[in-house]
Amino acid sequence: DTEVTQTPKHLVMGMTNKKSLKCEQHMGHRAMYWYKQKAKKPPELMFVYSYEKLSINESVPSRFSPECPNSSLLNLHLHALQPEDSALYLCASSQETNEQFFGPGTRLTVL
């Protein structure tokens, strides 16, 4: 299995909602990542987990809360988001120094 899966594919939420994005990989990768990508822009790194511990937080607002329950799963909990948070949220994994494998992303719309 050489895939990174993400659910849901699409999510529409209000500014007072709480929702979660999920990411899963079964390649045995020990590093997992969350990126945010706006239309026609490159992906921007948000968080990095290494061996299930948060190693990088790119000064992301606290309304985004990552969680790594185990080495195969990565969640992104969303609360009180703003319309400008609407974007494609990409998850990736890697075997530390090797290439990153990206999931298809969750298209998030905040109303």
Partner 1 sequence: GESVGLHLPTLSVQEGDNSIINCAYSNSASDYFIWYKQESGKGPQFIIDIRSNMDKRQGQRVTVLLNKTVKHLSLQIAATQPGDSAVYFCAENRAGGSYIPTFGRGTSLIVHP
* Residues found near partner 1 in the complex (CB under 8 A): 4, 33, 40-45, 48, 56, 90, 92, 94, 96-105
CA dihedral 78, 83, 84, 88 (to 10 degrees): 60
What length does the chain have? 111
Minimal distance, residue 110 CB to partner 1, in Å: 20
Which CB atom, from 82 or from 95, has the smaller least distance to partner 1?
A: 95
The least CB distance from residue 15 to partner 1, in Å, is: 26
Q: 84 vs 96, which CB is nearer to partner 1?
A: 96
Amino acid at 71: S
- Omega of the bond leading into 69 within 30 degrees of 0 (cis): no
